[in-house]
Amino acid sequence: MNLYTTELRRLRKRRFVRYLTLAGLLVLIAVAVGMFFTNQKVGPAQLAAAERAADREYEQNLTFTRQHRAECDKAKAAGNAPEGAFPEDCSLIQPPPREMFQAQWHLPATFEFRKEFGGTVTTLTAVLALVAFIGGASFVGAEWSTGGMMNLLLWRPQRIRVLLTKLGALLSAVCGVTVVAAAVWTASFWATATYRGSTERMTSGVWQSFGLTGLRGLILVLVAGALGFGLASLGRHTALALGGVLGVMVVGQFGLGIVLDMAQVRFVEIWLLPTYLLAWMNKKVTLQDYDACQASFTGECRPATFDVTWQSSSILLAVSLVLVLGAAIWSMRRRDIT
């Protein structure tokens, strides 16, 4: 019997993996349905309602301004105006111009595919990456904890081949689920934009940009699955992978962030993992230091900036993947199977 086919069947039969995948898909479905029902298409009726709302807001502000000026005139005439409550000249109390009350502030939420779909790809990637990490860790961790790995190696004594075949089966399954989920995700948000928003200005360049973002998301999901698999294989238990990530997030992220902030280190986010994950998905993240001032030629004070690009994120992901999988393969080769 083919080892790869056997591992795919073993992965598909694991109830925890099935339930975990189902839970992740239900979360994505809830997000997609929520976006559909919380947006609506903007037409002449919505524009007219927004104009009426802007008019009401202007009239309310106008009434308040008149009342405030009347109180100012009355207090000035009586000579008992509270200090700082009114200006020296009550004529300075004037309502803002009508142009400041814009109708677009009162428009309902509408989904513009060109502008907003890119952010939803990041949400899709985050959910699937979490599912891939936990699923990958559970897949190989359960084999070690239940003795299934030892039994398999009696049938196929090639340790490295068995481990890499398991990894290949996991990644191919993750890739398949991600591609199908991404296709359905795109179709669902296209429907949302069609019936509850706008699909205007969708050019081939925009689709290419979305495609590259989706490709980076797929790579991140595969890396997450491989890291979960490698950590669980290294510790021969699912808990090591989950506990390691929990430790990194709690100690290495929140704790480190607090310490660096107390030490007044510039660009604290440069030391935090989420910054690099966002930079990978968005191609670039610009950090700002508001405690530093860079004066422009006009005299304007601008915060100092630092760019984290997807290239630096790719180096971090590649190094992490090589270290974890390399350590897992080395451990598989060197340690006894007991």
pLDDT digits (tens, 9 = 90+) for 263-302: 677 777 788 888 899 999 999 988 887 666 655 555 566 7
Highest-scoring range by mean pLDDT, 44-48, 91-95, 123-127, 307-311: 123-127
Per-domain residue ranges of the chain: 3-41+109-334, 44-106
- Is pLDDT at 243 greater than 80 in this prediction? no
Higher pLDDT, 338 or 218: 218
| Predicted local confidence at residue 7, as pLDDT | 81
Yes or no: say if 97 and 65 are a contact pair by the CB < 8 Å rule: no
| Predicted local confidence at residue 295, as pLDDT | 54
Query: What confidence category does residue 161 fall into, taking pLDDT thresholds of 50, 70 and 90?
Result: confident
Q: To the nearest whole number, what is the mean pLDDT of the chain? A: 83
Model's pTM, two decimal places?
A: 0.82
H helices then E strands: how many in the chain? 11, 4
The average pLDDT across 82-109 equals: 81
Higher pLDDT, 126 or 47: 126
With b meaning 16 or more CB within 10 Å and e meaning fewer, what string describes 59-82? eeeeeeeeeebeebeeeeeeeebe
Higher pLDDT, 98 or 254: 98
| Predicted local confidence at residue 205, as pLDDT | 93
Residue 182 is classified by DSSP as H
Q: What is the DSSP string of 98-137?
A: GGGS-GGGGSPP-EEHHHHHHHHHHHHHHHHHHHHHHHHH
Which residues make Cβ contacts (< 8 Å) with residue 46, sequence separation at least 6?
40, 107, 108
Query: What confidence category does residue 240 fall into, taking pLDDT thresholds of 50, 70 and 90?
Result: low
| Predicted local confidence at residue 248, as pLDDT | 61
Q: Comparing C-alpha atoms, which of 154, 210, 162, 173 is closest to residue 20?
A: 173
Alpha-carbon distance of 267 to 288, in angstroms, equals 7
| Predicted local confidence at residue 12, as pLDDT | 87
Alpha-carbon distance of 7 to 269, in angstroms, equals 40
Q: How far apart are the first and last CA of the chain?
A: 25
Longest Cα–Cα distance of the chain, Å, equals 101
Helix (H) or strand (E) holding 335: none
Alpha-carbon distance of 189 to 182, in angstroms, equals 11
- Is pLDDT at 337 greater than 70 in this prediction? no
Which residues make Cβ contacts (< 8 Å) with residue 179, sequence separation at least 6?
218
The average pLDDT across 72-81 equals: 78
Higher pLDDT, 323 or 99: 323
- Is pLDDT at 5 greater than 80 in this prediction? yes
| Predicted local confidence at residue 224, as pLDDT | 94
Quickly tell me which residue has 């890396």 as its tokens: 223
Q: What is the DSSP string of 46-85?
A: HHHHHHHHHHHHHHHHHHHHHHHHHHHHHHHHHT-PPTTT
| Predicted local confidence at residue 303, as pLDDT | 77
Helix/strand/coil for 146: helix
Alpha-carbon distance of 231 to 112, in angstroms, equals 40
- Is pLDDT at 78 greater than 80 in this prediction? no
The average pLDDT across 128-139 equals: 90
Query: What confidence category does residue 106 fall into, taking pLDDT thresholds of 50, 70 and 90?
Result: confident
- Is pLDDT at 191 greater than 90 in this prediction? yes
Query: What confidence category does residue 79 fall into, taking pLDDT thresholds of 50, 70 and 90?
Result: confident
Helix (H) or strand (E) holding 167: helix 159-196
Which residues make Cβ contacts (< 8 Å) with residue 145, sequence separation at least 6?
236, 237, 238
